[in-house]
């Protein structure tokens, strides 16, 4: 029990405090949230991705294992969600929102700082790899699930191509694995900018959660999706990470990332493509609040 309390105080509490500050500042309209979002997406996060990958100590087999783990965990979650939606004969829009809520994981704004606090720099590096993987999943499979025969996916695919984070991560990996020398100026600028990424991510997480409207809806669907994300997710993560032969901190990060709550982008996609944002927004809120308990226990178990 003391260990779980220590996890809450040293890992969960800092995330809650900074995210809560973001939510309070947004409610007070102390700044323009869109500008903060743009700085994070187009400056700080790419710098973190580039610097983190350029200096990463991840072996190529670990890298491939993390990518495979991220894709398989999300895909298996989607398949299980789809099967459950068919078994219970959910209406099409409800099924779309349910599956989307189950397989879209907040491994970026939440997962990256959580793993850094829990496992230090090695955790951050591995969480970054999975976050980049999730971006591709979100704007491919995620968009398909949200649209589910109702809308064109061209706009969101264009949006995914314009996000610089994956390109920065790829460039960083190229520099790392090819041992390409870069001027000290470039690396120091990247170092300064990447230092802003995690605080900005947490502030944005707070802003996003503060703006989520709890709209209620069918409680069995909301609780079922939240439970499947927070309890089923880590079980899938353990099975996948073990089957892939991941070990040590790589295995730990893969499991923790699989247990993260539903991503806020779920509601964005559901709104954009006429799914059911009432369900997705409720699942985001319920799963995020509940994750304080589930992630604390899970981290205690995997450490």
Walk me through the domains of the chain, giving residue ranges and CATH numbers: 2-302 (1.20.1530.20)
Does pLDDT of 213 surpass 80?
A: no
Segment 125-153 mean pLDDT: 75
* DSSP 3-state of 178: coil
Does pLDDT of 50 surpass 60?
A: yes
Q: How far apart are CA 191 and CA 121, in angstroms?
A: 14
Beta bridge mates, 262? 105
Task: Give the distance between the most distant pair of CA atoms in the chain.
Answer: 59
Band of pLDDT at residue 149, cut at 50, 70 and 90: very low
Residue 57 confidence (pLDDT): 85
* DSSP 3-state of 90: coil
Q: Check: CB of residue 66 under 8 Å from CB of residue 130.
A: yes
Q: What integer best gives the mean pLDDT of the chain?
A: 87
For the stretch 249-282, pLDDT in tens is 999 999 999 999 998 878 777 776 667 778 888 8
User: 105 — phi, psi (to 5°)?
Assistant: -110, 135
Q: Which of the listed ranges 37-51, 109-123, 205-219 does the model predict with the highest average pLDDT?
A: 109-123
Segment 230-256 mean pLDDT: 97
Segment 46-52 mean pLDDT: 88
Does pLDDT of 176 surpass 60?
A: yes
User: 262 — phi, psi (to 5°)?
Assistant: -65, 135
12 CA to centre of own chain? 16
In the DSSP assignment, the letter for residue 137 is H
Does pLDDT of 156 surpass 70?
A: no
Band of pLDDT at residue 232, cut at 50, 70 and 90: very high
End-to-end alpha-carbon separation of the chain, Å?
14
Does pLDDT of 246 surpass 50?
A: yes
Is pTM beyond 0.95? Reply is no
Segment 92-117 mean pLDDT: 91
Q: Which residue has the tokens 């699989």?
A: 258
User: Of all helices (H) and strands (E), which one includes residue 141?
Assistant: none
253 CA to centre of own chain? 12
Task: Give which of 58, 17, 36, 70 is closest to 197, Cα–Cα.
Answer: 36
Residue 28 confidence (pLDDT): 83
Q: How far apart are CA 68 and CA 112, in angstroms?
A: 18
Segment 168-193 mean pLDDT: 91
Residue 124 confidence (pLDDT): 92
């Amino acid at each position: 029990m003391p260990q779980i309390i220590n996890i809450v105080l040293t890992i969960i509490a800092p995330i809650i405090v900074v995210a809560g500050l973001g939510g309070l500042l947004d409610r007070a309209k102390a700044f323009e949230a869109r500008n903060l979002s743009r700085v994070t997406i187009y400056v700080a996060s790419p710098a973190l991705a580039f610097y983190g990958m350029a200096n990463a100590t991840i072996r190529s087999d670990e890298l491939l294992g993390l990518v495979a783990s991220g894709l398989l965990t999300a895909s298996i979650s989607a398949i299980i969600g789809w099967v459950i939606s068919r078994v219970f004969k959910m209406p099409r829009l409800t099924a779309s929102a349910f599956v989307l809520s189950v397989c879209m994981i907040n491994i970026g704004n939440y997962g990256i700082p959580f793993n850094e606090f829990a496992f230090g720099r090695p955790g951050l590096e591995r969480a970054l790899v999975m976050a980049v993987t999730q971006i591709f999943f979100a704007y491919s499979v995620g968009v398909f699930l949200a649209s589910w025969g109702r809308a064109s996916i061209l706009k969101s695919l264009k949006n995914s191509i314009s996000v610089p984070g994956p390109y920065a991560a790829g460039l960083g990996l190229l520099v790392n694995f090819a041992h390409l020398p870069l001027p000290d100026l470039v690396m120091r600028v990247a170092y300064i900018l990447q230092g802003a990424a995690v605080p900005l991510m947490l502030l944005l997480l707070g802003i996003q959660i503060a703006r989520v409207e709890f709209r209620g809806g069918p409680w069995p669907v909301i609780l079922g999706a939240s439970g499947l994300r927070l309890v089923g997710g880590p079980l899938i993560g353990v099975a996948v990470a073990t089957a892939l032969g991941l070990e040590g901190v790589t295995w730990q990060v893969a499991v923790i990332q699989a247990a993260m709550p539903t991503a806020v982008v779920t509601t964005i996609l559901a709104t954009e493509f006429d799914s059911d944002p009432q369900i997705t927004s409720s699942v985001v809120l319920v799963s995020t609040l509940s994750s304080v308990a589930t992630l604390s226990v899970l981290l205690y178990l995997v450490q």
